[in-house]
Amino acid sequence: MEKKIDIHAEHHRINRNSWLRAAVMGANDGIVSVSSLMLGFIAAGSPRSAIVLAGTAGLVSGALSMAAGEYVSVQSQKDTEKADLEMEARELEVNFDHELNELREIYIHRGLKPETAQETAEQLMAHDALGAHARDEMGLHEITRAQPFLAAWASAAAFSAGAGLPLLTVLLAPDSSMMIAVVLITLASLALLGGLAARTGGASIVRGAARVLFWGVTAMGATALIGNLIGYHV
């Protein structure tokens, strides 16, 4: 009995790009921005209530800002894709033979023999002309199509989850070790996030963690220094 092959059995990492980028960016921004914000208040000698208020405000405003920014950005990409597809559809209506030859040349450039490229182009355009040009001329694939709402929600949720870690630390840590606790939790979270994102994307875990840690430490150091200077002079 012939074994049936599932052409969708393989799960490639690029399939995760639509949500992975937004989720990693959101979580990273949540951890870094809120922890840095609160470290600035801690360094300025602010009371716990003011630090928590600043962290909460940073979480809410940051999550909404990330969602709005991600939605607008991805929606713009989707609008561009739609406009390109509409333009291609018009070209297919008024100049089908030219579009056929264009697709044929693409396949020849990729290594097919001219007669094979001609036959392939004819068959694909007979089946789905716009789909063939979307894939092979414009590089648009279903798995990489822009998804504004998904990107917005993933970004906002990830930001909130990331920002919640340093905020929870401030709520639970004693006053004497609050800064150290926030720094340690933030660094551990960033290292875990960087390593997880790298592993999910098939990259080096150590390099991914180190990259995120570097920029996180830079941001926290800068805001702590500014908070300390402002707290000293005000």
Per domain, the residue ranges of the chain are: 17-233
Q: How far apart are CA 77 and CA 71, in angstroms?
A: 10
pLDDT band at 25 (very low <50, low <70, confident <90, very high): confident
Of 199 and 79, more confident:
79
**pLDDT of amino acid 14:** 47
Alpha helices in 95-113 (DSSP H): 96-109
pLDDT at 12 over 70: no
| Angle at CA of residue 182, ends 176 and 186, nearest 5° | 160
pLDDT at 4 over 60: no
**What does the pLDDT look like over 86-128, one tens digit per residue?**
888 888 888 888 888 888 888 888 888 888 988 888 888 888 8
Residues in the chain: 234
Q: Are 16 and 152 in contact (CB under 8 A)?
A: no
- Express as a percent the part of the chain with pLDDT over 70: 84
Nearest to 163 by CA among 63, 69, 42: 63
**What does the pLDDT look like over 47-56, one tens digit per residue?**
999 999 999 9
**pLDDT of amino acid 3:** 47
Has this prediction a pTM greater than 0.85?
Answer: no
**pLDDT of amino acid 163:** 92
Q: How far apart are CA 43 and CA 234, in angstroms?
A: 13
